[in-house]
């Protein structure tokens, strides 16, 4: 994985000291809160419902054991012994003290991490496929391109005050595991007919209050023009994106209002102009970055087999491991969704355990999934049973990847000052309901996503079943949505009708799954059945 | 009644104006009706609180209870982690929020 060079480290260290000085001045009263707020937000420090919250960037979700150990130590030293993995492959700490934040950032910098650009109207952490470098179906590892874009976008002076925040995802397979088309820019590394690699650009997607699927504005940008094309996309947005209304300031609104064709024309015009400006880093830089993402020293494991005599282990293997590009290996998903638990939360102890498991069994690598789970990307089949036994002992062995219990939930009103309703208790009740009725297994793949407000951090628009918490005259109310997908078959979920209270929404979810089990045909997922039969049978069951 | 709340500048902890000082316990909060702006300006200037604002509340069993659920969650802590709330020994305290 990528290692900081002296420039990376110097930039991060300098920023820590700058923030230390800014914090001191705030505590001494030399800066007002109005002056200080944009400075702390540029360093990922929010003021949330109960305390300051720090969001730490995990570039394209990739970590090594040293970094995961450091995140655990931070949880113990500066927080309350746990952290929350987010839907943008980051981690958040909920109980940070302002006076300790500079020391925390200094500790992060020691392991080549930071919280820069995890807030504010700038280019945020670049996300990617959590199985990158391991997936059997990928064209190439997308992370070198994500890293190149990370370096380009970090401290980019022109894009430091965009109309609104800006999120980029990079993938390199037909299977979309990064919600690529629901980002401001989604990039898919593809091959053209001549066998050359290039980048397909999708621009103007997003969730939030106005969900949109990004249209493809250029199916093939040569890789030696990747950064220049991204710069052109940003320039047009920075110039014409709305600054008068924050709810209409995202690039999706600009692309929608101009039309994809006109936006593309303007990007191409800017691109032609920029091509002569020397924006693009030399290909040698991409090659330098690529060396950090070379395959680990895989062994010949083609004769490895999995002993399935332990039925609990066999179930976990079936549900939580996915094919690897190398024979004899799999990617193993560590579920952070125990029934009744808080989706995405991990204790410091669990983080230490996951770090050690990565060191022992996965070439020192971990990934954070946007679905709030952790991946050990390269695990030999022969070591799986030992690995699983440790996971089981630490409460990390839930066999529920992509099942109804594997719920995405934002922090909601329990932690977030923007939220209108609590998300986590609803997730807990739904998981408990399905675990207790034993229906989970029969439902197969069913992606349920919950947001506590319209900002959609819980990706409810992209859930096969989505739930949106709203405030109805001071009382929590939950809208039910059906038919979304963040994958390559991307679609936006539709609201079923009037909302439900906290217990009612749990019943409603069970009702729509009952419709599915009644109506499904061979091999259909919930989403497939919904797309075939439409909304009416579900509405009829819900509202009569 | 109206309560004045904000966050402690150094720690970020939720605090409530008691009439003479700030407390992390909403039970200690004083009714500031009519004086919200004046107290908020003074206390923010002295850096004892960050971003103070007033919220509606009512007395319930002799204890101030913020009218809006968001402020009740703020005053207690996350309902999904009773151990991290201000009343970890009261497992049913979440009912006070809802």
Q: How far is CA B4 from CA A150, A419, B35, in A?
A: 43, 21, 9
A535 DSSP assignment: S
Least CB–CB distance from B12: residue in A52, A413, A474:
A52
Going by C-alpha positions, the residue among A46, A34, A184 that lies closest to residue A115 is A46
Count Cα neighbours of A446 within 13 Å in the Cβ-side half-sphere. Answer: 26
Chain B within 8 Å of A501 (Cβ-Cβ)? no
Contact between chains at A98 and B68 (C-beta distance less than 8 A): no
Tens digits of residue pLDDT in B15-70: 999 999 999 999 999 999 999 999 999 999 888 899 999 999 999 989 999 999 99
Tens digits of residue pLDDT in B69-92: 999 999 999 999 999 999 998 878
Q: Are B65 and B95 in contact (CB under 8 A)?
A: no
* Total domains in the fold of chain B: 1
Same fold yes or no, A142-291 and A408-543: yes
CB pairs under 8 A, 24+ apart, for B30-33?
B30/B3, B30/B4, B31/B1, B31/B2, B31/B3, B31/B64, B32/B2, B32/B3, B32/B4, B33/B1, B33/B2
Tens digits of residue pLDDT in A499-527: 999 999 999 999 999 999 999 999 999 99
Distance CA A224, CA A241 (A): 27
Q: Are A205 and A127 in contact (CB under 8 A)?
A: no
Give this prediction's pTM. 0.96
- Identify the domain containing residue B25 by its residue range: 2-93
Averaged over A232-236, what is the pLDDT?
98
Q: What is the enclosing helix (H) or strand (E) of A74?
A: helix A65-78
Averaged over A429-444, what is the pLDDT?
96
- Burial letters A467-486, b for 16+ CB under 10 A, else e: bbbbbeeeebbbbbbbbbbb
What is the radius of gyration, based on Cα positions, of chain B? 13
Q: Which CATH architecture has domain A408-543?
A: 2-Layer Sandwich (3.30)
Chain B within 8 Å of A532 (Cβ-Cβ)? no
Interface of A with B in 326-365 (CB under 8 A): 342
Chain B within 8 Å of A75 (Cβ-Cβ)? no
Chain B within 8 Å of A207 (Cβ-Cβ)? no
For residue A54, the chain B residue with the least C-alpha distance is B12
Q: Which CATH superfamily is domain A142-291 in?
A: Sulfite Reductase Hemoprotein, domain 1 (3.30.413.10)
H and E: helices and strands count for chain A: 17, 20
CATH 3.30.70.3340 assigned to domain A311-393? The reply is yes
Greatest Cα pair distance, chain A, in angstroms, is 68
Contact between chains at A51 and B74 (C-beta distance less than 8 A): no
Averaged over A44-62, what is the pLDDT?
97
pLDDT at B96: 86
CATH label, A6-110, candidates 2.40.50.140, 3.30.200.20, 3.90.1660.10, 3.90.480.20: 3.90.480.20
ipTM confidence: 0.95
| B9 in any annotated domain | yes
| B98 in any annotated domain | no
Distance CA A112, CA A93 (A): 18
Q: Above 90 in pLDDT, residue A179?
A: yes
Going by C-alpha positions, the residue among A203, A197, A88 that lies closest to residue A141 is A197
* DSSP per-residue codes, A349-369: HHHHHHHHHHHHHSTTEEEE-
Helices (H), A203-310: 226-240, 251-258, 260-275, 283-290
Domain layout of chain A by residue ranges:
6-110, 142-291, 311-393, 408-543
Q: Above 80 in pLDDT, residue A442?
A: yes
| B27 in any annotated domain | yes
How close does chain A come to B62, measured CA to CA in Å? Answer: 22
User: Residue A29, SS3?
Assistant: coil
| B88 in any annotated domain | yes
B7 contact residues in A (CB cutoff 8 A): 47, 51
Confidence band for A234, pLDDT divided at 50, 70 and 90: very high
A123 DSSP assignment: B
Tens digits of residue pLDDT in A388-423: 999 999 999 999 999 999 999 999 999 999 999 999
User: Residue A84, SS3?
Assistant: strand
């Amino acid at each position: 994985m990528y290692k900081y060079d002296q420039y990376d480290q110097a930039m991060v260290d300098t920023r820590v000291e700058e923030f230390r000085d800014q914090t001191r001045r705030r505590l001494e009263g030399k800066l007002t809160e109005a002056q200080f707020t944009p400075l702390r937000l540029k360093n990922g420090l929010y003021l949330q419902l109960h305390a300051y919250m720090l969001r730490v960037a995990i570039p394209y979700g990739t970590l090594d054991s040293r970094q995961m150990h450091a995140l655990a130590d931070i949880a113990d030293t500066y927080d309350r012994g746990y952290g929350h993995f987010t839907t943008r492959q980051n981690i958040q700490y909920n109980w940070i003290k302002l006076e300790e934040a500079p020391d925390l950032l200094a500790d992060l910098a020691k392991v080549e991490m930071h919280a820069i650009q995890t807030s504010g109207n700038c280019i945020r952490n670049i996300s990617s496929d959590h199985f990158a470098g391991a997936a059997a179906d990928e064209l190439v590892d997308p992370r070198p391109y994500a890293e190149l874009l990370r370096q380009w976008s970090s401290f980019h002076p022109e894009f430091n005050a965009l109309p609104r925040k800006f999120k980029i995802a990079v993938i390199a397979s037909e299977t979309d595991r990064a919600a690529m088309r629901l980002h401001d820019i989604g990039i898919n590394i593809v091959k053209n007919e001549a066998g050359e690699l290039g980048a397909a650009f999708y621009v103007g997607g997003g969730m939030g209050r106005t969900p949109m699927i990004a249209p493809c504005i250029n199916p093939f940008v040569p890789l030696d023009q990747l950064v220049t094309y991204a710069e052109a996309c940003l320039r047009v947005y920075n110039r014409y994106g709305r600054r008068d209304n924050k709810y209409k300031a995202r690039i999706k609104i600009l692309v929608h209002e101009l039309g994809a064709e006109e936006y593309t024309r303007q990007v191409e015009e800017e691109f032609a102009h920029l091509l002569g400006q020397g924006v693009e880093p030399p290909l040698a830089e991409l090659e330098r970055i690529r060396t950090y993402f070379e395959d680990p020293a895989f062994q010949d494991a083609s004769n490895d087999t999995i002993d399935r005599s332990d039925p609990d282990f066999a179930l976990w293997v079936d549900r939580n491991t996915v094919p690897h590009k190398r024979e004899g290996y799999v990617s193993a998903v560590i579920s952070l969704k125990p029934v009744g638990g808080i989706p995405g939360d991990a204790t410091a102890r669990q983080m230490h355990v996951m770090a050690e498991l990565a060191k022992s069994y996965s070439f020192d690598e971990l990934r954070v999934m946007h679905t709030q789970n952790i991946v050990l990307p390269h695990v030999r089949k022969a070591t799986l049973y030992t690995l699983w036994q440790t996971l089981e002992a630490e409460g990390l062995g839930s066999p529920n990847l992509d099942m109804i219990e594997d719920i995405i939930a934002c922090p909601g009103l329990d932690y977030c000052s923007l939220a209108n309703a609590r998300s986590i208790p609803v997730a807990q009740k739904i998981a408990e309901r399905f675990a207790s009725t034993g229906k989970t297994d029969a439902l197969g793949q069913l992606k349920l996503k919950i947001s506590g407000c319209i900002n959609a951090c819980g990706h409810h628009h992209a859930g096969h079943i989505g739930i949106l918490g709203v405030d109805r005259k001071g009382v929590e109310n939950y809208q039910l949505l059906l038919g979304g997908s963040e994958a390559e078959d991307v679609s936006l979920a539709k609201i079923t009708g009037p909302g439900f209270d906290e217990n009612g929404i749990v019943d409603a979810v069970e009702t729509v799954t009952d419709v599915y089990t009644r109506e499904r045909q061979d091999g259909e997922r919930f989403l497939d059945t919904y797309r075939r039969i439409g909304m009416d049978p579900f509405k009829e069951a819900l509202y009569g | 009644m109206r309560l004045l709340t904000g966050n402690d500048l150094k720690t970020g902890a939720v605090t409530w104006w008691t009439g003479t000082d700030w407390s992390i316990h909403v039970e200690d909060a004083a009714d500031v009706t009519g004086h919200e702006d004046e107290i908020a300006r003074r206390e923010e200037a002295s850096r004892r609180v960050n971003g103070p604002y007033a919220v509606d509340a009512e007395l319930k069993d002799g204890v101030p209870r913020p009218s809006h659920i968001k402020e009740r969650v703020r005053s207690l802590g996350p309902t999904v982690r009773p151990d991290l709330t201000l009343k970890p020994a009261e497992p049913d305290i979440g009912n006070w929020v809802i």
